[in-house]
A and B are shown apart, each in its own frame.
Chain A
């Protein structure tokens, strides 16, 4: 990753995250297929909802016949953390048009958010729509295509797990977290480590009481407040 913010740089920067989209996308397609969702509905969900863990939950709740209200509520809880990411990245795009902001926000994911935060540290805290669109759209298409292939081929695909492909997404977050801590010089490394350690402990405690997706949201908010308290001291 370098300081370039054009269309090509966006494509280049997003490549490492694509393994994660492919691994999870294939897995989702296969699960959706075995849950009797048609290929068209898989494509529709990937294009409209475009959120990994939420799509798994929606599919399993549809399978057991949950009411629409319950499914939408779960989706909101799982995806609520996205608003924190949008809120974090939006100030860097404030000078861009309203339309550009909405377009970028519509396709923002955990991965492209983290990439953009890494990118900020290389560009003197600047982001450009061209870079964001190419990373976002590339991720969006790869996700949609992977889920459709998973749904089409279903049981024909050998278990992606045997090849370790399911771990791609975890490895990617490890890389993004580490790079963020060492390249974001606006805070000392020790403070990044303290916040990350605090969040890790919180996650263990919170997951005693709530599922992981909710714990991520609560731990992030408490982690940020903790960081503020440490910084003010």
Chain B
């Protein structure tokens, strides 16, 4: 059990450093203009990457396959985003769509 405890402790420490070191760096130094320009693309780039990752299934050494359920449920969610512009509505529509897709046995 000590082994598990130590693993969690070290993983926690590593994750914490990943989270806070950039804050300390930014506080201590002035970021150059090119870095600020680079960072201005992070929100859209990282959210797009996280979204597309959820539509794919990784297979070592092969092309990824499509997560059909997530892809199908994404369509009503995207539509809800465009129509409502409300995060809450997108989430509720997404959950309901996935429930229906499972009920119909499509995924």
Taking a contact as CB atoms under 8 Å apart, the answer to whether A87 and B95 are in contact is no
Residue among A15, A58, A76, A170 facing the most chain B CB atoms (10 A cut-off) = A170
Q: How large is the interface on B (under 10, 10 to 19, 20 to 34, 35 or more residues)?
A: 35 or more
Taking a contact as CB atoms under 8 Å apart, the answer to whether B48 and A172 are in contact is no
Partner of A175, one of B45, B70, B87: B87
Taking a contact as CB atoms under 8 Å apart, the answer to whether A81 and B8 are in contact is no
Bound complex: CA of A180 vs CA of B18, how far in Å?
A: 24
Interface 9-residue window, one of A2-10, A150-158, A220-228: A220-228
Taking a contact as CB atoms under 8 Å apart, the answer to whether A170 and B15 are in contact is no
Residue among B15, B34, B38 facing the most chain A CB atoms (10 A cut-off) = B15
Q: Does A168 contact B (CB under 8 A)?
A: yes
- With contacts defined as CB atoms under 8 Å apart, how many contacts are there between chain A and chain B in the complex? 288
B54 to chain A, nearest CB (A): 5
Q: How large is the interface on A (under 10, 10 to 19, 20 to 34, 35 or more residues)?
A: 35 or more
Interface residues of A in 198-233 (CB under 8 A from B): 199-200, 202-204, 207-208, 211-213, 215-216, 219-220, 223-225, 227-228, 231
User: Given the known A-B contacts A80-B18, A175-B81, A195-B41, are A72 and B47 also in contact in the complex, defined by CB atoms under 8 Å?
Assistant: no
Bound complex: CA of A168 vs CA of B51, how far in Å?
A: 12
Provide the residues of chain B in CB contact with A91, threshold 8 Å: 26, 31, 36, 39
User: Given the known A-B contacts A72-B7, A87-B39, are A167 and B64 also in contact in the complex, defined by CB atoms under 8 Å?
Assistant: no
Q: List 3 tightest A-B contacts by C-beta distance, closest first.
A: A171-B94, A48-B12, A164-B98
What would 17 A/B residue contacts be, using CB atoms closer than 8 Å? Answer: A41-B5, A62-B7, A82-B15, A86-B22, A87-B39, A91-B36, A93-B23, A105-B19, A164-B94, A176-B47, A176-B87, A184-B44, A207-B53, A207-B56, A207-B63, A227-B45, A228-B38
